[in-house]
Amino acid sequence: MRTSTLRPAACLWLAGVFLAVEAVYHAHGVRFDATPLDSFWQFLDPLLLRVDLMRSVWYLHGQPPAFNLLLGLVLKLGGSRWESVFHVLYGACGFGLYVGLVLLLQRLGVRLAGAATAATLFLVSPSFVLYEHWLFYTFPVATLLVMAALALAWFRDRPSPVRALLFHSLVLAMCGIQSTYQLPYFILIAAALIALHPRHRRAVVYGAALPFVLLCGLYIKNTAVFGVPSTSSWMGMSLAKMTVWYLPADTLQRLVTSRAISPISLIEPFSAPGAYPPEYFAAVGFEDVPAIGARWKSTGRENMNHIGYLRVSQQYLRDSLAVLRRHPRALAQASRDAWWIYSWSSSEYRFLNRNATHIAAWTRMVDRVVYGRRGESARYLGLLIGLTAAVAFGLASLVSRAGASSERLLLAFLVFNILWVAVVGNTFEMGENNRFRFTTDALSLAILGLMGQRAYDAFRARKAR
């Protein structure tokens, strides 16, 4: 495994490239978009984040708490400059993701020139700049994944409890931000590391202990307060989109009439509070906790963290399981469509339109030349081939045991995360699947970079012979 160190001259060169790309996009009208703070379902009321942060985060059940906690801290400490603070933070994430990808490629065995080229291609892509300039957790999670991979490689260099703690803390951060990553994900990662490093089992256990306890503490709190052993209570509403709402209208009505499922299934999941029966939204016992007792935010948008959505989601979950027993094809059809959306460009996402309009011509060119899109169709042939090739090459390398053991460990982590996000996201959620995939695009690119390096080395060896 090549070392992942950069000389000062290389660091300065990468910083210059990053700033130049940022300047070009800024000149074309790209600005940091903080509008999601006022409207997105995943965020608590901005007013509560400012004046009632800790209690509101304690009673947050719709989402993992870490990102809302960050939002509140920036709103409190940043004052009137909070938007600029987020811009700086996301810019730092962008530079970290860019340099981190270079280091990750080097760790896999790609030479510096190839690593810098591949990372720069990712940097200039429309998806990178659009997510970097959008206030949501997608871009920070993408950065955390790359940093976790580097922390894993660092642990592999010289196993110790401190290095194991750093790695598992990054894994904990992902679990605390995005509901795709749950306790089973953490356990699988830690257990695999113990199995692969039996001589350093104690270091892994010591390093994973505190993050594991904190994550279990979140589960215990949500179970005790809300009866939900998860970091998010929206599972039922998400699964209903993949099951109940994939039934033909007459079949759905027949199931409701026969009382196989409840009448609530006739209501589209994630609807406004007024669409549901009033009894679901009775805030008895929580009247003095606006985070779960208020139907509407101070911004005028629905409060999706209201205690009523917890009850609604639980009913949707029961109905979804009933549908799965009777009509399993519904989930299969929904998952097929989810995989189809997963293969789209991640810039093809309506919430990015505020900045996407400024770089529409560049996006179209990348879609056609790099991703293989034809006209306005939803077929991205080049992207589909690239994503498939990355996973196939990664799995083939692991099976054939090609490369050093340290390379294979890192490669296994990349492939596992790509497959985890793809399978979990496309089984339980519909509509934003290409956004989910962006978090692992850097990992796919790293594997493709390794594939290119090995092909180049094989060509040179053959030519030399």
pLDDT tens figures, 329-340: 999 999 999 999
Tell me 134's DSSP state: B
Long-range contacts of 296-304 (CB under 8 A, 24+ apart): 297/38, 297/45, 297/46, 297/47, 298/45, 298/46, 298/47, 298/48, 299/38, 299/39, 299/45, 299/46, 301/38, 301/39, 302/41, 302/272, 302/273, 303/45, 303/273, 304/41, 304/42, 304/62, 304/234, 304/270
Give the confidence band of 4 by pLDDT, cuts at 50, 70, 90.
Answer: low
Q: State the burial class of residue 319 (Cβ atoms within 10 Å of its Cβ: 0-12, 13-18, 19+).
A: buried
Question: How far, in Å, CA of 156 to CA of 409, rounded?
Answer: 9
pTM for the full model?
A: 0.95
* pLDDT score of 379 more than 70: yes
User: What pairs with residue 33 in β-bridges?
Assistant: 134
Q: At which residue do the structure tokens 């189809």 appear?
A: 340
Question: How far, in Å, CA of 382 to CA of 387, rounded?
Answer: 9
pLDDT for the residue numbered 1? 41
Region 1-9: what's the mean pLDDT?
67
Region 90-115: what's the mean pLDDT?
96
* Percentage of residues of the chain with pLDDT beyond 90: 91
Region 229-242: what's the mean pLDDT?
96
Tokens of 181: 């990553």
* pLDDT score of 2 more than 70: no
Question: How far, in Å, CA of 347 to CA of 95, rounded?
Answer: 19
> What letters, b where the CB count within 10 A reaches 16 and e where it falls short, cover 23-47?
eebeeeebebbbebbeeeebbbbbe
> What letters, b where the CB count within 10 A reaches 16 and e where it falls short, cover 392-428?
ebbeebbeeeebeebbbbbbbbbbbbbebbbebbbeb
Question: How far, in Å, CA of 214 to CA of 350, rounded?
Answer: 35
